[in-house]
Amino acid sequence: MLRGAVEPDATPPPTAADLRAAFGAAAPLTVGIEEEAMLLDPVTLDLCPRAFEVLSVAPGDLRFKAELPAAQLEVVTDPAPDVTTAVAALAAGRRDLAALANGIGRVGAAAVHPFAAVEGELSRGPRYAFSRAEYGAVGRLQVVGALQVHVAVGGAERSLAVYNALRSHLPELAALAANGAWFAGRDSGFASVRPKLSELLPRQGVPPVLASWEALADAYAWGVRAGAMPSERLWWWELRPHPAHGTLEVRVPDAQATVADAAAVAAVAQALVAWLAERWDAGEPLPVAETWRIEANRWSAARRGLDGTLADLVTGEPVPTRDRLRAVLAALAPTADRLGSGPWLREAARLVEANGAVRQRMAAAGGGGARAVAAWLADAYLEGC
């Protein structure tokens, strides 16, 4: 969603020295999760724009945040040493958020609501004034939900090398985590429409290659001077170095229906980072693909999800997406086992067969259509919690 939808910062953007210090200090391979969820009317299951009322029940609980859409809430976990610990915190957050919302609405997680009006109601207040003024009607179209996974690489130059290489794997994560098939009351024909809605905003999609930390610091400074982004927090892409946390923030996955689905996606993201870091440590040059080639795979992931193909970024040879994902999971398995997240990586194999988009269509197939999808999302939210 519109992360950092705030007034301009009084402080200058971080310098290259600031960035090197942040990424050099982060403990390697910790995991943090930010999950955006929808507040649903308890009767109609339409969006319920009362997120601030839910937060007022437990003021000061930093695990829960409001977002620009008035019907959206976010669950945030602290950095954890492993995926299991992070997921336990996420499960507790889901339970507690559902309890806070009780009497106001229900909670569900997906890339988009299955049948709500395309333009959503936005939150008011000074925090959101810039985004409301700058993005207008486009901002009202951003009622979308993501699962954002923070992984600390450890080491500034190591982090930069892993960032540049991880760009190539974003379509694989997008296909695995696609959970936005039903939109505006019908099957959209996409596995996830969220990437196409997000593209209406600036700085979306496959991120640029970064030659150095100086290049990123210069990009931040240019954006502020140009008035394009009043804060580095508006450096939105499907992957970004997070200067405050010293992490790589993987922003490409859709919000996941169940906590087990979220755990599986987080495990793949962490294992990918660790696998690339291990190769860099061994002196292996990490490949850096051209953006447009990655974007070709990004389109397939959004349009056809698991049923599409992903092309080899060097040869152009297309491979069925499920086969490609199975190969990735097999390559990551030894790394995941060393991290203690092997069981969660094996959960990802279940998503290769039926991710959220597939299960949305299964929920609708009984004749209930979009409302049946919303009911499934609401029922699934506390599954396994």
Contact 163, 109 (CB under 8 A): no
Contact 69, 141 (CB under 8 A): no
Query: What are the residues whose beta carbons fall under 8 Å from the beta carbon of 199, sequence distance 6 or more?
Result: 205
Name the DSSP class of 264. H
pTM equals 0.96
Query: What are the residues whose beta carbons fall under 8 Å from the beta carbon of 240, sequence distance 6 or more?
Result: 207, 248, 249, 251
DSSP state string for 210-245: -S-HHHHHHHHHHHHHHTS-SSGGG---SEEEETTT
DSSP helix/strand/coil, 73: strand
Q: What is the pLDDT along the chain (385 residues), one digit of tens a residue?
A: 454 444 555 588 999 999 999 999 999 999 999 999 999 999 999 999 999 999 999 898 999 999 989 999 999 999 999 999 999 999 999 999 999 999 999 999 999 999 999 999 998 877 788 788 888 889 899 999 999 999 999 999 999 999 999 999 999 999 999 999 999 999 999 999 999 999 999 999 999 999 999 999 999 999 999 988 888 888 999 999 999 999 999 999 999 999 999 999 999 999 999 999 999 999 999 999 999 999 999 999 999 999 999 999 999 999 999 999 999 999 999 999 999 999 999 999 999 999 999 999 999 998 999 999 999 999 999 999 9
Q: Which domains does the chain have, with CATH numbers?
A: 16-380 (3.30.590.20)
Backbone angles phi, psi at 357, to 5 degrees: -65, -45
Contact 167, 207 (CB under 8 A): yes
- CA dist 144 and 296 (Å) reads 22
196, amino acid identity: K
Contact 16, 212 (CB under 8 A): yes
Backbone angles phi, psi at 258, to 5 degrees: -120, 160
Q: Which residue has the tokens 């069925």?
A: 320
Two tokens, residue 139: 């901002």
- CA dist 370 and 166 (Å) reads 35
- CA dist 121 and 111 (Å) reads 17
- CA dist 135 and 154 (Å) reads 36
The helix-helix angle for 156-166 and 259-281 (nearest 10°) equals: 120
DSSP helix/strand/coil, 244: coil
Q: Count other Cβ atoms within 10 Å, centred on residue 86.
A: 27
- CA dist 236 and 199 (Å) reads 10
